[in-house]
């Protein structure tokens, strides 16, 4: 089982930011975010993302889509205190 990082409080704040910027929130968006954070934490390749979180293609595509909207700056700069 993959270790997860997001608390309910942090996830709610991230969802608020996503909605503010018009991002689609599916019922598995939290798992997709966990997969992306897992990849960033470990430095592993996209293809090594644990399947129990989501497919690597889904995580990769969502990461790129959110990056093109500038959301990563928002996630990490607006909520910097939560990640420390």
Number of domains in the chain: 1
Q: Give the model's confidence band at 58: pLDDT under 50 very low, under 70 low, under 90 confident, else very high.
A: very high
Tell me if 19 is assigned to some domain. Answer: no
Tell me if 62 is assigned to some domain. Answer: yes
Q: What is the mean pLDDT of the chain?
A: 84
Q: Give the predicted TM-score (pTM) of the model.
A: 0.80
The residue range of the domain holding 65 is 29-83
Tell me if 35 is assigned to some domain. Answer: yes
Rounded to whole angstroms, the Cα distance separating 20 from 70 reads 12
- Show Cβ contacts of residue 2 under 8 Å, excluding neighbours closer than 6 positions: 34, 35, 38, 50, 52, 53
pLDDT tens profile 23-56: 777 888 999 999 999 999 999 999 999 999 999 9
Nearest to 20 by CA among 66, 84, 80: 66
Q: Which residue has the higher pLDDT, 19 or 42?
A: 42
CA distances from 41 to 20, 24, 46, 66 (A): 26, 24, 12, 18
DSSP code of residue 37: H
Tell me if 55 is assigned to some domain. Answer: yes
């Amino acid at each position: 089982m993959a270790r997860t990082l997001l608390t309910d409080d942090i996830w709610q704040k991230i969802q608020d930011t996503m909605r503010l910027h018009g991002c689609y929130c599916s019922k598995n968006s939290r798992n997709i975010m966990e997969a992306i954070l897992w990849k960033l934490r470990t430095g592993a390749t996209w293809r090594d993302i644990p399947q129990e979180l989501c497919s690597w293609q889904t995580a990769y595509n969502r990461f790129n889509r959110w990056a093109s909207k500038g959301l990563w700056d928002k996630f990490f700069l607006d909520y910097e205190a939560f990640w420390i």
